């Protein structure tokens, strides 16, 4: 790896780390610097411009919504001024499920389409991959009685996360990429086209 490529690799890893820390801390001005102006965010509960994602995330934070992130290893595929950055992560959210306070933890990856513009790396598209999740009651000895029909409507990789998000009023997207399947296969193909210089699929 050349010195220039190494510096780009480090900058991309820092970008991913800053994203998680600044968003979860409610540091919205610095969080906004993680994105390019035309960037988009895809999540279970939101799909659209990053600028709008920042606004609704801030509004939720101020209402007490807590969707937190913990990061693991990162893999960077670099092609000039473009990159695909994959990062192991967990998403955790605390909310009421059928009258019981629960924590949901979802394990997956952030799959980031990044670009270097005017010397600055930032995210153009973030598409999480949801691999598996679980729900635990916060108070020992309690357990929510879930609606099995509602739970079954969501993919296995994020069904408990989708369940509580639906119950607190979010419209949840039901075909997000998982560990395997056509959605994640299509995502990988889109990433390869991005690295080859093609226009990003929207």
Q: Is the pLDDT of residue 202 over 70?
A: no
What fold is seen in the domain 3-195? Nuclear Transport Factor 2; Chain: A, (3.10.450)
Q: Are 72 and 78 in contact (CB under 8 A)?
A: no
Q: List the beta bridge partners of residue 89.
A: 71, 108
pLDDT tens readout for residues 30-73: 999 999 999 999 999 999 999 999 999 999 999 988 899 999 99
pTM of the model: 0.95
Residue pair 85/75 in contact by the 8 Å Cβ criterion: yes
DSSP SS3 for 170: coil
Parallel, antiparallel, or unpaired for β 47-49 and 35-42? antiparallel
pLDDT in tens, 77-123: 999 999 999 999 999 999 999 999 999 999 999 999 999 999 999 99
Tens digit of each residue's pLDDT (9 = 90 or more) over 9-39: 999 999 999 999 999 999 999 999 999 999 9
201: pLDDT strictly greater than 80: no
Q: Strand 67-79 vs strand 120-137: parallel, antiparallel, or unpaired?
A: unpaired
Residue with tokens 């069904």: 159
Where along the chain do its domains lie? Answer: 3-195
**Which residues fall within 8 angstroms of residue 100, CB to CB, at 6 or more apart?**
137, 139, 142, 143, 144
Asked if 120 contacts 34 with a C-beta cutoff of 8 angstroms, the reply is no
């Amino acid at each position: 790896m050349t010195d220039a490529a190494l510096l780009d690799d480090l900058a991309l890893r820092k970008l991913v780390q800053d994203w998680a820390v600044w968003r979860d801390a409610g540091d919205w001005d610095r969080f906004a610097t993680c994105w390019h102006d035309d960037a988009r965010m895809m999540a279970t509960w939101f799909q659209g411009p990053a600028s709008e994602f920042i606004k609704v995330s801030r509004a939720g934070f101020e209402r007490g919504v807590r969707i937190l992130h913990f990061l693991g290893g990162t893999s960077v595929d670099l092609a000039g001024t473009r990159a695909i950055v994959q990062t192991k992560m967990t998403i955790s959210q605390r909310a009421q499920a059928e009258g019981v306070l629960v924590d949901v933890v979802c394990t997956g990856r952030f799959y980031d389409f990044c670009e270097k513009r005017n010397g600055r790396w930032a995210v153009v598209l973030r598409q999480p991959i949801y691999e598996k999740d679980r729900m635990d009651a916060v108070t020992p000895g309690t357990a929510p009685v879930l609606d099995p029909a509602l739970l079954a409507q969501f993919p296995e990789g994020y069904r408990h996360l989708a369940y509580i998000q639906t119950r607190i009023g979010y419209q949840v997207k039901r075909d997000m990429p998982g560990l395997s399947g056509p959605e994640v296969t299509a995502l990988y193909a889109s990433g390869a086209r991005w690295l080859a210089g093609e226009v990003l699929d929207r």
